[in-house]
Homo-oligomer: A and B are copies of this chain.
Amino acid sequence: MPDVSAVKALVFDVFGTVVDWRTSLISDFTKWSKMRGVKGDWTALVDGWRAVYQASMDEVRKHPERGYKILDTLHRESLEKLVAQLSITGLTDADLHHLTMGWHRLHPWPDAIAGLTRLKKEFIISPLSNGNVALLTEMAKFAGLPWDLVMSAELFEHYKPDPETYLGAARLLCLKPEQIMMVAAHNSDLSAARKQGLKTAFVPRPTEYGPLQKRDFKPEGEWDIVADNFGGIADKLGCQAAA
């Protein structure tokens, strides 16, 4: 049994950990494109979009003189390149905006809301995501995510896994790092959080990337908690069963 008795707040990675971005976006865009009358390989678009995610944040890290860019902006810039590469034509500015805002309309994994609801009774729960504040806020309303507050990389003007994000969350909550548990489906996120002193919980999401999934099938560190889903985390933290 790990010593997690000091934990007061759980902070969650969102894309992949709380919400199923890939299935949500492919479904959303496929339906929309039929109504809109545009054709495209939406699976290729979504996979390609996520494939350039890390590189788009690296550009922000490499060029601090250009100022911080929120994820909505990075998504839009990447999208414009991708539709050209994939020869998707006939998209207006409003269409590109609608697709970019698709990241605000993501559905949670089946266990997420029930698990968060149990955890919220005992702990402060917040996203700690690279999504910007408006994205995370709109997603929470769309998906019914019961956050106590919304913490975003935007608040710290640094993207995860930069230390400023994990330490920034501790500062805003007036907690010590060891009083916060990072919950993620990505070993790299937990590794970076642990380096800053946070507790860690791993939940595998083996279908996050669909057939392209190559990693994060299993825990790759001595995380404080490993569970199959959010309900399992609540069980291991001694939360009451759902009413």
Contact = CB atoms under 8 A, between A and B. Distances in A.
Given A124-B141, A137-B149, A149-B149, 11 more contacts: A132-B174, A133-B172, A134-B175, A136-B149, A137-B173, A140-B149, A147-B148, A147-B149, A148-B150, A149-B150, A150-B150
B137 A141 contact: no
Nearest to A127: B149
Interface of A: 70, 72, 124, 132-134, 136-138, 140-141, 147-150, 154-155, 172-175
Contacts of A138: 124
Contacts of A136: 149
This protein's copies in its complex: 2
Contacts of A124: 137-138, 141
Contacts of A174: 70, 72, 132, 134
Contacts of A155: 155
Interface of chain A, main secondary structure:
helix
Contacts of A175: 134
A172 B140 contact: no
A102 to B, nearest CB: 15
20 contacts: A70-B174, A72-B174, A124-B137, A124-B138, A124-B141, A132-B174, A133-B172, A133-B173, A134-B173, A134-B174, A137-B148, A137-B149, A137-B173, A140-B148, A140-B149, A147-B148, A147-B149, A148-B150, A149-B150, A150-B150
B148 A141 contact: yes
Nearest to A174: B134
Contacts of A133: 149, 172-173
A111 to B, nearest CB: 22
A181 to B, nearest CB: 16
A175 B137 CA distance: 12
Among A124, A137, A155, the most chain B Cβ lie within 10 Å of the Cβ of A137
Closest 3 CB pairs of A and B: A134-B174, A149-B150, A133-B172
